[in-house]
Structure 1
Amino acid sequence: MNLARTQTGRTVRRAPGPGAVLAALAAAQFTVMLATSIVNVALPQIRAGTGLTDGGTTWVVNAYGLAFGALLLAGGRVADLLGRRRVLLAGLALFALASLAAGLGASAGVLIAARAVQGLGAAAIAPAALALAMDGSPYGPGRGRALGVWGAVSGAGAAGGVLLGGVLTQQWGWPWIFHSVALAAALVMAAVLVLVPRDAGRPGGHFDLLGTATITLALTCLVWGLTTARGAGWSDAGVLGSLAGAGVLLAAFCAIEARRPDALVPLRLLTAGRVAAGNVLMALLGSVWIALFFFLPLYQQQVLGESPLVTGTGQLPLAVVHMIGSALAPRISRRIGATATVTAALMTEAAGLLWLSRISADGSYLADVLGPSVLVGLGLGVAFVQLTALAVEGVPGRDAGLAGGLVNTTRQVGGAIGLAALATLAGSVTAHASSGQAPLEALTAGYRTAFAVSAGALAATAVLALFLTRRTGARTPTTTTTPTANRTVLSRVPLNR
């Protein structure tokens, strides 16, 4: 144990160092990202084991993403009001129980419901953990290192989920992918209990119930409509009604927030630092990021004929390079500035995706996947860290949880939009090519199109970043937070241009 002896001879427990605290919080983020991607490789086995149809199988993924994306803003605000450590622990407990239920589920309905509850737990975990990590990391090199760690574990969790899912599915069967996530959440909860100090929360704060309900319903309609469109088509009445409802609810949310003193998304949050720019760009990055981890394993399994284990192992280079990029991102930003860093990272990832758009039906992992994965992982790691930094830049301490929820929401919703659009596009190309080409050729044509459009979208995002991330002044007040008192202190620091 971490003990120290005082002058009176008493033994007291030493407070954990900031590195240990950050490690526990990063492990929470890793677990959330792991659960996002760990099912991708196992979907064929889950379909066979539960009797789900192709359309039903997609809801094993969608139920988690729907609840996660729709409830992140609410989770972030609740964490600010009730205490971030308390909400983090509650989210981890719910996440662990839901994961266990998913693995033990005797029916498809139980599995999908458990995945939705998993998403609810994740919506509490992600913003609370990020806010606590930022509380313990003052502005400067310490904040950069913390964000580098955050980016590394996020990418490692997404890519590692594909690897672990392949190993567990092949060796012990698909239920073990959920059992492993339950065990990971329980271990992280124990680490948080021991290492992360309590925070006070804001007992006198008010929760914007009307705004929360409106935006949650709006995001639910949006994500539901987009994910359903992949199977039902964009002209389906249910899809069109859901998307129209999302538009009406989003407009209502904006009107509500403009009149409320306790708004869920206050104007001060969007005007602090480069928060708005960071979130717009993160949404665009997310639209490509989540689709990448959907299409790449499918190409490896369905076209190259790789087993789940080999497919998962093939994600290791991408994960390793992503971690390297995340670690280098703060140093690169200090040297060349935030704008140049974001632009270069997005263009690097776009180059990797353009390379992936040249895959062939008779290709191989070494010739078609390895090289592009290195470029994609490097660009993704740097871009994720820098955009997360922009999305929490200058945010008052009282809004840190909400800022964490907002940047995770934009990434999730962007991912849902991108995946729905790209999956529909790839499916259309494959269906059109099927009339004159072999099945594998037709599948590959669809995947090539998805990667090519993703590359174009990221290149356009890089150009947009040149304008959105520029500063209008040389120096701007930013905020630091004292974690013990949960206060906001204004200080002046030099800014990256």
Structure 2
Amino acid sequence: MTTLTHHSAPPTPGMTRRQVLVLVLLLASQFMLAVDFSILNVALPSVGSGLGIAKADVQWIATTFALGAAGFTLLFGRVADFVGRRRLFLVGMTALGAASLLGGLAPSPGILLLARAAQGLATAAITPAALSLLTTTFAEGRLRDRALGLNSVMMSSGFTVGAVLGGVLTDLLSWRWAFLVNVPIAVVVVAVAPALLRDSAERERARLDLGGATLVTLGLVALVMGATRAGSVGVTDPLTLATLGLAAILLVAFWLLEERHPHPLVSTRVLRRRNVAWGNVAGLVTFAMESALVFLLTMYLQQVLGLDPLQTGLVLVAMGVGCVLGGVLAPRVIETVGVRRAAVGGLLTQALLTGTLVLVGETTASIVLVVAATFVGALGHVTAIVAFMVSATSGLPDREQGLATGLATMTQQVAMALGVPLLSAVAIAAGGVDSLAALRVAIGLDAAVVLAGALLVAAGLRPVVREAAQPTLMPANRSSSGTEVGTCEVTSS
């Protein structure tokens, strides 16, 4: 059995003033990214009609973003370890502001897709940099758990706010404001960040593994492309199968290369840590299936019940409220029952409440069930997210936090990119996304996958025994005297 045990360190009562300011800044950036991910989903039909994009091609507005965000996150997470998290965060935020301005002013579909690709690349740079800045600002223990819980709140509530805001801006102003709303926020963050953020870990001096970076990036891009095509034309399409097969070959080749490379992009030693590997499994399942559930419920509310985009967003506010409450409670749950039980319990709650949604009907009376189930299900979903982040970033020195958070962020982005098209393909095969029966089938499969994930994580993840370490703005693995205070040692029995 493998357990992670901290060297003890004296606890501290709370965050320093600088830690609070850093946390507020990083949470604001994460909230912005979450809003940016979902704000355009509601506006997609309006964007298509405004620029003359055919309905069959509108999905590429979302797919182009996902290709950059999912395909390059791991690479940028590792680049952060070389060039500095603070520098990459500022460059990424500047690029996101510029790309959002370009998208808001886009005169043609080509320029719009270019802007979406740039937004995806910027997101791939910002997210792991911001997350690793957060994990290196707070040493492992209660304060880091609280920070990760608040981070999950901002991400999850940002998705919901984005859906509502997208409907409001599209109805009252124009779909272009779904892009332009990012610009002033990016300007403020870039202006304030240099005074608050600092890199607390030493940078890597070894050469970047360009071969591994190329293989994993192309592999993830092929995976997202194949999944997206599966959602639009079906999983039996020859080109879909070829693309997914190519993705598998590239990712296997990446693993074999990393096994032998002297300075790998991803250390297979890190991937073999049970807490990192199974933590990411939990994250993959919960993110993929919750993103897919939001899509399926959006189709149900609009295509079956006939609600408009704004009404749909308002119904999903209950999910956002559940996410906020779940993020507040999750660190306390983890402190009480442990990371493993919190992850499994969160997944089981998400599976059970998702399963109840197969009972939705053709009348608006079912909205009550949707509101109740998504609220309670979101509590489990966010608890699983926080447990995933704690598990996936524990037991590693600061110099590997860019890698760990890059892996975690890649898991999140890939999950969101895969979940929607795959369950969309299931719904289409069962009768179409405007069919209540087909949507019930897809929702039932969603619940089954989360349940299977809960069972796998219960079997694979070992209890993480952790003691609160002293929060510091110095590297978490060193005290001022150079002694180890925040590291974990791995013992086997």
TM score, norm. by length of structure 2: 0.90
| CA-CA distance at 1:481 after TM superposition | 8.8
Task: Measure, in 1, the Cα distance between the counterparts of 2:407 and 2:320.
Answer: 25
| Cα deviation digits, residues 48-69 of structure 1 (max 9, x gap) | 1122122210011111111100
CA distance in 1, matches of 2:329, 2:453: 21
Equivalent positions of 1:4-403 (< 5 A) are 17-199=18-200, 201-202=202-203, 204-272=205-273, 274-364=275-365, 366-403=367-404
Worse-matched range after superposition: 413-422 or 333-342: 413-422
Q: How many Å separate the matches in 1 of 2:191 and 2:199?
A: 14
Partner of 1:406: 407
C-alpha change, 1:168 and 1:238, in structure 2 (3 Å) is same
Deviation of residue 187 (structure 1)? 2.5
Distance 1:159 1:403, change over 3 A: same
2:3 aligns with: none
Deviation at 1:304, TM superposition (A): 2.1
The one-letter code of the counterpart of 2:96 is F
Larger mean CA deviation between 476-485 and 21-30 belongs to 476-485
SS at match of 2:307: coil
Structure 2 distance, partners of 1:92, 1:493, is: 33
Contact 1:272 1:393 in 2 (8 A): no
Is 1:461 equivalent to 2:453 in the alignment? Answer: yes
Question: For residue 28 of structure 1, what is the amino acid of its counterpart?
Answer: S
> How far is 1:203 from its partner?
5.8
Q: For residue 379 of structure 1, what is the amino acid of its counterpart?
A: G
Return the offset for 1:490: 5.2
Shift, 1:183, TM fit: 2.6
Q: Describe the shift of the 1:480–1:281 C-alpha distance in structure 2 as closer, same or farther (beyond 3 A).
A: farther
Does structure 2 retain, via aligned residues, the 8 Å contact 1:29–1:154? yes
Q: Is the 8 A contact 1:478 1:492 kept in 2?
A: no
Displacement of 1:480 after TM fit?
Answer: 8.3
Residues 49/245 of structure 1: CA separation in 2 closer, same or farther (3 Å cut): same
Counterpart residue number, 2:441: 449
Give the conservation status (yes or no) of the 8 Å contact 2:477–2:487: no
Give 1:391 shift: 0.8
Q: 1:364 to 1:107 in 2, by over 3 A?
A: farther
2:67–2:225 CA contact under 8 A, matched in 1: yes
Q: Cα offset for 1:315?
A: 2.1
Could you say if the C-alpha distance between residues 288 and 116 of structure 1 is closer, same or farther in structure 2, counting changes exceeding 3 Å? same
Cα-Cα RMSD:
2.4
| Equivalent residues of 2:357, 2:443 under 8 A apart | yes
Partner of 1:3: none
User: Structure 1 residues 243 and 451 mapped into 2: Cα distance closer, same or farther (>3 Å)?
Assistant: same
Between stretches 37-46 and 179-188, larger displacement belongs to 179-188
Quote the Cα distance in structure 2 between the aligned partners of 1:405 and 1:481. 22
Distance 1:352 1:256, change over 3 A: same
Unaligned runs of 5+ in 2: 1-15, 479-483
Note the alpha carbon deviations across 1:140-162, whole angstroms, 9 max, x for none: 21111111111111111111111
- Measured against aligned partners, the alpha-carbon deviations of 1:24-51 in whole angstroms (never above 9, x if no partner) come to 0111111111111111111221121122
Deviation of 1:486 (Å): 7.5
AA aligned to 1:327 is: V
Greater displacement, 335-344 / 88-97: 335-344
Determine if contact 2:476/2:487 at 8 Å carries over to the other structure: no
Matched residues in 2 for 1:296 and 1:78: separation?
Answer: 37
Any conservation in 2 of the 1:475–1:492 contact (CA below 8 Å)?
no
- 1:245 offset after TM fit, Å? 1.3
Cα distance per residue 1:357-378 (max 9 Å; x no partner)? 2122223464342111112211
Q: 1:181 to 1:447 in 2, by over 3 A?
A: farther
CA distance in 1, matches of 2:204, 2:58: 42
**1:411 shift after superposition:** 2.2
1:31, 1:186 → 2: CA distance?
12
In the alignment, what sits opposite 2:7? none
My pick for the range that moved more, 477-486 or 418-427, is 477-486
- The one-letter code of the counterpart of 1:459 is L
SS of the residue corresponding to residue 396 of structure 2 reads coil
Contact 1:135 1:481 in 2 (8 A): no
Identity over aligned pairs, percent: 34
Give per-residue Cα distances to partners, 1:316-335, cap 9 Å, x unaligned. 22111111111111111111
Aligned pairs (5 A) from 1:474-493: 483-484=473-474, 489=484, 491=486
Distance 1:242 1:490, change over 3 A: farther
The match for 2:431 is 430
Moved more, 319-328 or 284-293: 284-293
Q: CA deviation at 1:225?
A: 1.0
What are the Cα deviations for residues 427-468 of structure 1, in whole angstroms up to 9, with x where unaligned?
Answer: 12124xxxxxxxx9x522222222111111111111112112
CA distance 1:198–1:277, shift in 2 (3 Å): closer
Q: Which amino acid aligns with 2:435?
A: L
Q: How many residues align?
A: 470
State the structure with bigger RCO (CA 8 A, min sep 6), 1 or 2: 2
- Farther-moved stretch of structure 1 (132-141 vs 201-210): 201-210
SS at match of 1:204: coil
**What one-letter code is carried by the residue in structure 1 that aligns with 2:101?**
L
What letter matches 1:466 in structure 2? A
Distance 1:480 1:74 in 2: 30
Q: Name the SS of the counterpart of 2:181 in structure 1.
A: helix
Identify if the C-alpha distance between structure 1 residues 475 and 284 changes in structure 2 by more than 3 Å, giving closer, same or farther: closer
1:33–1:158: 8 Å Cα contact kept in structure 2?
yes
> Within 2, Cα distance between the matches of 1:201 and 1:93?
24
Contact 1:273 1:478 in 2 (8 A): no
For 1:150 and 1:76, the matched residues in 2 are separated by 18
Shift of 1:401: 1.1
> Quick one: distance in 2 between partners of 1:82 and 1:66?
23
**Structure 2 CA distance for aligned equivalents of residues 290 and 297 of structure 1:** 11
The superposition leaves residues 136-187 of structure 1 with CA deviations (integer Å, 9 ceiling, x where unpaired) of 1112211111111111111111111111111111110111111112332222
Instruction: Indicate how the Cα distance of structure 1 residues 485 and 455 shifts in structure 2: closer, same or farther if over 3 A, else same.
Output: closer
